[in-house]
Amino acid sequence: MNRSIYWVMALAAGLVVANNYYNQPLLVDFAHTFDVTERAAGAASVAAQTGYALGLLLFVPLGDMVRRTTLFTVTLLAAAASLVATALAPTLAWLIVASFVTSLTSVAPQLLTPLAAQLAGPQQRGRAVGTVMFGLLCGILLSRTVSGVLAASFGWRAVYGMAAVAMVGVVVMLLALMPRTEPAFSGTWRELMGSLWTLLRDAPLIRQTSCIAALQFAAFSAFWTTLAFHLHAMNAHYGSATAGLFGLVGVVGASASTVSGKWTDRGDARGIVLAGGITMLAAYGVFALVGGSIAGLIAGVIVLDFGAQIGHVANMSRNMGVSAGAMNRINTLYMTIRFAGGALGTAVGTFAWSIWSWAGVCAVGLGFAAASVLVQLLAERGTLSLFAGRDETNG
């Protein structure tokens, strides 16, 4: 398979996943537009995370049963419509609902990742997943830069109008360039959804990787959701443009996804996941000590994103070795649980900010990152039988 197709997938993944994160640098703007508190505005981010988790559960399993091009077309056009609704939102409640629907239908990246793994085969799986994940992660991070800069110049509503146009472009690109693959599952929709429980019940490795990923993503989300609040509270009262520019800093850490993919292909994916959790712990140490300055935040962001990305890519590569015919369903379980963790981190982080400000956010992030390390160590030692599992391809 020509490696350029993986970069096409990476571009598409980045453009689509950005829909879930445009709101994070804009929460202060939402609060001002609708005359609500920052905590109330944070509900838009929680809704986006929750909608994405539900979309993963409802739509991604269909990638094993329905042509992916059909799924891409239906979900992305629905996302475009809901982005238009977001741009036109007259109230915060409208905005929250539209944010939920946008994220519910922006699940194409999680159909692309298993497809890349399938096309690459076992020997190149890590690299293929790492390439697509690099695009996806750049989309997450640069979405904040794009939304912050555009909002500062044209208002936050323009961000969502631009995103709607981008979704139509992605549909055209995927229909023109994606290889045709036949679904692997021939049963009914009820049997397909029932098999999710069977996979989760019978594969402790999936339970382990999903729990660790949920805790790591909770730590990741607690920071990024509250960053705009923290910057605005600093003496210079930085706005959405500054918050968005931190996405550029995060790209340095996102480059770890391609490195992690190569390391995973060479073995010891479990060690890479553990290193990711420890690195995230170190990042929150940086935030706690010097996060009151721009330089300290920049240093912490690089470390945080590096840890989050190497752990995530290694976890995904571990999962893809469980069952070649069920990659979309495995990814559904993993990503649904992971994004449920992200929604929890967003909610707890926002709450901690409202009560204890930056110190509370740092405590929350440290707690989630430490829990991810503890779960993995206990699982590897067999202390937690619920999560005791070994990699199928990496020992």
Residue with tokens 């590569």: 317
The reported pLDDT for the residue numbered 393 is: 45
Q: Which structure tokens are listed for 16?
A: 């689509």
Give the integer Cα–Cα distance in Å for 334 and 322: 12
Kindly report the backbone phi and psi dihedral angles of residue 36, in degrees, each rounded to the nearest multiple of 5, phi listed first.
Answer: -130, 175
pLDDT along the chain (395 residues), means of 10: 81 94 88 89 88 88 87 95 96 95 93 82 74 84 85 93 96 87 81 91 90 96 91 85 78 68 71 93 97 94 90 84 80 88 92 94 97 91 66 46
Give the integer Cα–Cα distance in Å for 328 and 182: 13
Closest CA to 23 of 184, 193, 146: 146
Structural domains in the chain plus CATH codes = 4-178+189-387 (1.20.1250.20)
The reported pLDDT for the residue numbered 216 is: 97
Q: Is the separation of the CB atoms in 208 and 332 below 8 Å?
A: no
The reported pLDDT for the residue numbered 391 is: 58
Q: Interior CA angle at 143 toward 265 and 124, to 5°?
A: 15
The reported pLDDT for the residue numbered 219 is: 97
Among the residues of the chain, which ranges form H helices?
4-17, 27-34, 38-41, 43-59, 68-87, 92-104, 109-120, 125-154, 156-177, 189-202, 204-233, 240-254, 256-266, 269-290, 294-319, 327-380
* Cβ density class 290-318: b for 16+ within 10 Å, e for less: ebeeeeebbbbbbbbbbbbbbbbbbbbbb
The reported pLDDT for the residue numbered 249 is: 80
DSSP string over 13-45: HHHHHGGGTTTGGGHHHHHHHHT--HHHHTHHH
The reported pLDDT for the residue numbered 388 is: 62
Q: Is the separation of the CB atoms in 326 and 332 below 8 Å?
A: no
